[in-house]
Structure 1
Amino acid sequence: MTDVRAHIRQGVHGALHVRAWPHPAPRYLALLVHGYGEHAGRYDEVAGVLTGHGAAVYAPDHLGHGRSAGERAVIGDFEDVVTDLHTAADLARAEHTGLPLVMVGHSMGGLIAARYAQRYGSELSALVLSGPVVGTWALPGRLLALDEIPDVPISPAALSRDPAVGAAYAADPLVWHGPMKRPTLLAFERGLAAVAAGGDLGDLPLLWLHGEDDRLVPVEGSRTGVERLGAGRATERVFPGARHEVFNETDRAKVFAELTGFLDSVLG
C-alpha cells in the first residue's frame, strides 16, 4: 500500500511512531497491535484488507520496536505499552470521532491487546487475538532459568509455510534479529500474570485465530487464557497446518474472511 501516513506522539518512554492507513469515509476504526521483535510496517496486507472493509487503520510501533524510542527489543513493563496503545487509540478517535473501535493483536500484541481490553474495554467494540501470548507460555521461564540467554533469534520458518514471508522477515532491518533480553522476559511473566488476574472481558465480542502448527506460541497454552478472557463465549478458529502468523499464511484468504465476517457480525 502506498497511501500510508506516519504520526509521532509522546509515549511513556519517548517518541511513539504510529502508522496510519487512511480511508476517505470509514465506518469504523481498527487498531493493529504487532508482536515481539517486529513492527507495524509488516501489517500492510492486513491493513489493506481492513481499509477495503471500511476501516481507517492505525498501528503503533511499540516501545523498543520499529521506529519508536527505547533499547531494541526491551520492554520493562507491558502496562506502559498498553498506555502507549491508548495514546494511539486517542489519535485515531481524534481524527474520526464517533466511530466504533476494534483491536487486532498478534502474539505479544495479543497480550497487550488483552490487557488493553481489561483496562479500557468500554472503548472497544470488538477484540481479535491472533496467536496470542495469553494463558500458559513456557518460553520466558525456560530462558530465565539459564545463566545466559542463548543468542538464538526467532526462526523465519516458524512464521509461515510461505517461504517469501520468512525471507522478507530475515531481510527486514526494522525486525530485531538478536536474542531475547532478560528484562523483556521478566515483563512477559508479569504481563501474563496481570492478564490472568485481570478478569474476563464481559460481553466484548472476542475472536481467537491460531495456527494449529504454531510452535512459537502453542495453541493449547493460549486456549487457557482465551477461555478465561472470553468466559467461554469467544469465537475460535484454528487453522490446520498453519504456523505462527496466520495473517501471513498460505491460506490467509480464509483467515481474512473469518476476520471480516466476524467484524460484520459485530458492527452490522
Structure 2
Amino acid sequence: MPFIDGYRHPFYYRSWRADHPRARVLLLHGFGENTGHYHRLAHALNAGGYDVFGPDHVGHGHTGGTPRGYFPSVAELAENAAILVDHIETDEPTLPVAIVGHSLGALAGAMLAISEPGKWTCLAMTGAPLWGLPAAAAGRTDLVMSRDEAYLDALANDPLGFDTGPAESNLWSAIGLAGSRIRCSLPALGLPVLLVNGEHDAFAPAPQAVDFAAELMSGRAVTIAGGYHDIPNDRAHAEVGRIIIDALDQSLHSVLA
C-alpha cells in the first residue's frame, strides 16, 4: 500500500487517475473519515479530467496513530499534504493543482494555500469550520451530519472507523487556532476560493460562509438547500461535485488562458 514519509511519520495516500488529466486535485478528508469515503467525488473529478490524490490524515484511516483521531496541529496536516504534492509532481510537474477539502481537510487546505501562495489554481472548501465550535453544537451527540444512506452505512461499517469522542477536544482546539489564522490571511490572497455549505450545517453555518466569501478577493459561497455538514457525502453529493468541478474548470481556464 502507498505510504510515504511525512512530517513526523509515514502516512498513507490514495490516488484516482483520469484517462487524460488536465490538472490535479489534492483531496483532503474531514475528521473521523478517511480517503476511502471519497470515491464518488474522486470519480466525478476524474470524469471531469482531473487526477485526484489525497492523504489519510494523522490519526485516521490507514495512516493511524494513537489515540485515534488525534493530530498535533492543522499545520502538520497541511505539511503532510505539501509533501504528498511534491511526491506526486515528480512524474508530471507541469499539471496545475487545485485543493479540495472538507471540514478539517478544508482548513488544512487553506493553511497550505496560505503557506504556498501562487502554487494553486483554486481552493474549494466544503463545511469549513472557520469559526471553531459553535456554542449551539457544543456537547451535542444528536446532530445530523448527512442524510445519505450509502455514506452513513460506509461510516458505520468502516473497519478503519473509531470513536471520535476522545479526540474531539484536541480537534476543536486545533481548529480554533487554524481558523483564526485562515480568516486573517486568506482575504489577502487572489486565489479563487469556493465555499460550499449545507443549509443545516451545525459546525460551519452557511450565513457565515457567505459573509466570509464577500471578504475574499475572489470568493464565492454556495448554500445547498436541505444539506448538512458532510455535504460532499450528503444526498446532494452529485450537485456538490458539479459545483466544485465548475469552479475548478473556471479557475483552470483562467490559468491556461
TM-score normalised by the chain length of structure 2 = 0.88
Structure 1 position 90 matched with structure 2 position 86: yes
Structure 2 match to 1:242: 227
The 3-state SS of whatever aligns with 1:159 is coil
Q: Which runs of 5+ in 2 are unaligned?
A: none
CA distance, structure 1, for counterparts of residue 16 and residue 186 of structure 2? 33
In structure 1, what residue type is equivalent to 2:69?
A
CA distance, structure 2, for counterparts of residue 67 and residue 264 of structure 1? 31
Correspondence list, 1:13-52, <5 A? 13-52=8-47
Structure 1 position 188 matched with structure 2 position 188: no
Return the match for 2:133 from 134, 137, 151: 137
Identity percentage of aligned residues: 25
Report deviation, 1:89.
Answer: 0.9
Equivalent pairs, count? 251
Structure 1 vs Structure 2 CA RMSD: 2.3
Q: Which runs of 5+ in 1 are unaligned?
A: 1-5, 144-149
Structure 1 match to 2:244: 259
Q: Is the 8 A contact 2:137 2:203 kept in 1?
A: no
CA distance, structure 2, for counterparts of residue 175 and residue 201 of structure 1? 38
Bigger mean CA offset, 207-216 vs 197-206 = 197-206
Q: Is the 8 A contact 1:126 1:205 kept in 2?
A: yes
The 3-state SS of whatever aligns with 1:200 is helix
Counterparts in 2 of 1:239 and 1:68: CA distance versus 1, 3 Å: same
Structure 1 position 158 matched with structure 2 position 155: no
Report deviation, 1:246.
Answer: 2.0
Structure 1 match to 2:200: 213
CA distance, structure 2, for counterparts of residue 85 and residue 140 of structure 1? 32
The C-alpha deviation readout for 1:224-262, integer Å capped at 9, x for no partner, is 55444x24x312110111111222222322222212222
CA distance, structure 1, for counterparts of residue 99 and residue 18 of structure 2? 17
TM-score normalised by the chain length of structure 1 = 0.85
In structure 2, what residue type is equivalent to 1:173?
P
